[in-house]
Structure 1
Amino acid sequence: MNPYDPAALECLAALADAGSFERAAQRLSITQSAVSQRLRALETSLGRLLVVRSRPLRLTEPGKVLLRYARQMQAMRADIARELGAATGQDERLPIAVNADSLATWVLPALDALVHEGQRDGFGLELIVDDQDFTHDWLREGAVLGCVSTVADALRGCQVSTLGVMRYIAVASPDFIARHLPDGLHGGNFARVPWLVFNRKDDNHAIWVAQAFGIQGPRLVERHVPSTEAHLRAALMGWGIGVMPEQMAREALAAGRLQALHPQACVDVVLHWHQWKLQGESLPAQASAADHLLRAGVLERIGLALAEGARQALRPVGD
């Protein structure tokens, strides 16, 4: 069997997505036995184990390498179908990983026109959410075709471009400040008041304290609220101090429902867009942005849309 047979690679991608042979078969509209046979033939031809038969199943390192090519194949197939005006029979799944704060602020408006266009062209965008420091792991493992990440260096076979700076500021409700910080937030009380934290990967609050008070690795009282929107709501309800993107807090600050703490202190997070390089038609250097959006491949168009959305929403690097 050709180890790069598209049908076999499609089975591998479906197994990675579905987590079981049964659900992979349903996704591909074939029998579970056919999925098993194609995977076994693929593993035999390569002489490598590609999938660990656990619950849920997981890919081995060789399996992750092949998965990256399967994802690229899906994106290229969507490009071909779009250019030929042909229907693929099913939406081509194009997964990208983004951080939750970007998703809650600027990513959806940036991708809106492209998503509506995709409904006509037959590709299905899937947004995978993780912390900005960890979205790059999804790309490395082949689970996504692109990611918004704080990592600046490109993987082999990938290209990277800088999007801009997301600035985080510390805010709290006037009621919280009156009850817990009558003398203001300072070096003598920051460790006694609660801080809102997205999850255990989130360290922006600790970085902000280091910026404001020069204390590295502070031990803080944390209240975990694992939702960006709920994080803002918890701050408004007086649950604690939130370190959040300035875009999220802007409206509440203007209305007086939140107050900024030590406005001179902030956490600037530089975001980058990574994507796998796919073969496609190159455009002349003088081509306009509209020409690029019209003729570029689907993955490239996602990157261009994100770059334009970031230009409008994020701070320039070095600002």
Structure 2
Amino acid sequence: MNTYDPAALECLAAIVEEGGFERAAQRLNVTQSAVSQRLRALEAQVGSVLIVRSRPLRPTHAGQLLLKHTKQMRLLRADLERDLQDLAPRSPGGARDEERISIAINADSIATWALDALTPLARRNLPIEIITDDQDFTQEWLRSGQVLGCVTTLKQPLRGCRVLPLGAMEYVAVASPEFAKSQLPDGLSAHNFRDVTFICFNRKDDMQAEFVARRFGLKRVSLASIFVPSSEGQVRAVAAGWGVTVVPELMAAPLIAKGLLVDLAPGFKLQIQLYWHSWNLESEVLNALAEALTHAAGQSLVA
């Protein structure tokens, strides 16, 4: 079996993670020519192209396999760092890019319960990198080998991965009191949802349409939408009177209690089941992440 140069593997990872050769060179503190040479040498050793020179750059299937291997090596180093920490504690902020522990978490979980779960690990200097995406797509980061674990709606474990149920996030439809009074005086209904604008996370976000479809028993729903790629930003936009949005009750409940938002469909909550997926490896770091996330989810989400 071939032994791959760790510097070349980290070069491949830097190109993918930074999105280009120039930024990879800056991160690795080498010339752009050196980055290209390392990649060519690795491609020659593998016998396959590893990067598709497109916009944006993306790894080939072989590149994804080597990227996953590189992440595994980082995980082994992180485990070793934890084992040695009592003997030689590392100073805060000393993590290098090649030590990053990357996980993908949906934006709503980041905005509500997930950061509290990860706080003890961050305080112990675990070099966490959180990648955010829609909860229906975070597993693609895991599938491609770019992260070690993800919070997702996918129940079936990916190949070579393990899965743990976290619980259900409950969602409600809200608007500002002024908007609700002028546009939806009787609340959201099957007859008026087409007359208002919904604030969505991005073009992949189907939460708003799914809420309306389930609430009113509709098969197909088409909404007038604008996009704000932040859970907190969606709430701020709604409070400012931009339109209607569907957000976690964990975020909306305090604002509803203060009279800053109005529940447009009282008595109805959309439940979205969440799961933690990670590589099926024996690792203290992965075990610590799983324990932290499942414990926090058990306190915040619906069983």
1:99 and 1:148 in contact (8 A); partners too: yes
> CA offsets, 1:181-230, max 9 Å, x none?
22333222221122222211111111111122212212222232222111
> CA offsets, 1:27-52, max 9 Å, x none?
23344444333322222222111122
Q: Does 1:309 align with 2:272?
A: no
Q: For structure 2, list consecutive stretches of 5 or more residues without a partner in the other structure.
A: none
> CA offsets, 1:61-112, max 9 Å, x none?
1101111111111011111122123568735111111111111111111111
| Deviating 4+ runs (over 4 angstroms) | 86-89
Distance 1:223 1:136 in 2: 25
Single out whichever of 15-24 and 302-311 deviates more from structure 2. 15-24
Counterpart selection for 1:198 from 193, 197, 201? 201
Question: 2:96 matched to which residue of 1?
Answer: 90
Question: 1:81 matched to which residue of 2?
Answer: 81
1:194 and 1:220 in contact (8 A); partners too: yes
Q: Secondary structure in 2 aligned to 1:191?
A: helix
Amino acid at match of 1:70: T
Q: Secondary structure in 1 aligned to 2:293?
A: helix
Single out whichever of 95-104 and 42-51 deviates more from structure 2. 42-51
Give TM-score scaled by structure 2 length: 0.90
Amino acid at match of 2:161: C
Q: Does 1:172 align with 2:175?
A: yes
Amino acid at match of 2:112: T
Counterpart selection for 1:111 from 110, 118, 133? 118
Distance 1:185 1:53 in 2: 48
2:95 and 2:127 in contact (8 A); partners too: no
Shift of 1:298: 1.8
Question: 1:258 matched to which residue of 2?
Answer: 261
Counterpart selection for 2:135 from 127, 132, 139? 132
Shift of 1:53: 3.4
CA spacing shift, 1:6–1:194, aligned 2, 3 Å: same
Shift of 1:263: 2.3
Question: 1:18 matched to which residue of 2?
Answer: 18
CA spacing shift, 1:24–1:263, aligned 2, 3 Å: same
Shift of 1:165: 0.4
Distance 1:18 1:180 in 2: 45
Distance 1:222 1:57 in 2: 30
Q: Secondary structure in 1 aligned to 2:157?
A: coil
Question: 2:154 matched to which residue of 1?
Answer: 151
Amino acid at match of 1:169: V
Amino acid at match of 2:104: A
Question: 1:49 matched to which residue of 2?
Answer: 49
Q: How does 1:236-315 map to 2 (within 5 A)?
A: 236-280=239-283, 297-315=284-302
Q: For structure 1, list consecutive stretches of 5 or more residues without a partner in the other structure.
A: 281-296
Distance 2:230 2:23 in 1: 28
Determine what percentage of the aligned residue pairs are the same residue.
53
1:76 and 1:278 in contact (8 A); partners too: no
Shift of 1:308: 1.2
1:170 and 1:262 in contact (8 A); partners too: yes
Q: Secondary structure in 1 aligned to 2:194?
A: coil
Amino acid at match of 2:9: L
